[in-house]
Amino acid sequence: MGKSKVGKEREVSSGGVVFRTLRGEPVVALCRRWRGRVWCLPKGGIESGETVREAALREVREETGVVAQILQRLGETRYRYRRNNRWGNPVEVAKRVTFYLMVRLEGNITRHDHEVEQVRWFSLPDALDRATFPSERMILRRAATRIRQLS
C-alpha cells in the first residue's frame, strides 16, 4: 500500500498591526475568528494587480472597518498548514505573511466584514496575552517596540 500524495502550494498574504491612542495609551486591533478560538492580526491574500502594501491596507480596512496608514514594515511570518484543495485532495500550503505597522486614520471596528466575528482594541500587553499564534505575538512585540520609539 502506497502513501497518498500530498500536493504543495504557496500562499502570500499581508496585513497589519493597527494602533491608535486611547486614553493616552496605544491600543491595537485584533480579530476574533473560528467561533472564538482564534484572536489574530488582520491579514489576507494579495489580489491580482495589487502590491503587498495595497493588500495590507485593504485587508485591514475589510477585516477591521478601519482606514489606516502604513508607517513601516514589521517583517514576515512563515508557516505551513494542510488543507484540501477544491477537488478534495490534501495539499500542504507554505504561507508567507508580510506585516506592517499602521496607524488608524478613521473608521469603526464594528464595521468589519463577514470574515471575522469581532474586532477589539487591546492594550499591547493584553494583545500579547490574547493573540493565538506565536508568530503573530513576535510581530506584536516588534510593533510594541516601534510604537514606543514613535512616542
Exposure class string for 21-57: b at 16+ Cβ within 10 A, else e: eeeeebbbbbbbbeeeebbbbbbbebeeeeebeebbb
CB-based burial label for 127 (10 Å; 0-12, 13-18, 19+): buried
* Structural domains of the chain ordered from first start: 7-150 (3.90.79.10)
One-letter amino acid of 109: I
Q: How far, CA to CA in Å, does 51 sit from each of 7, 12, 58, 90?
A: 27, 11, 11, 29
pLDDT in tens, the chain (151 residues): 445 677 888 999 999 999 999 999 999 999 999 888 899 999 999 999 999 999 999 999 999 999 999 999 999 999 988 888 888 889 999 999 999 999 999 999 988 888 899 999 999 999 999 999 999 999 999 999 999 998 7
Q: What is the pTM of this model?
A: 0.90
pLDDT of residue 124: 96
One-letter amino acid of 136: E
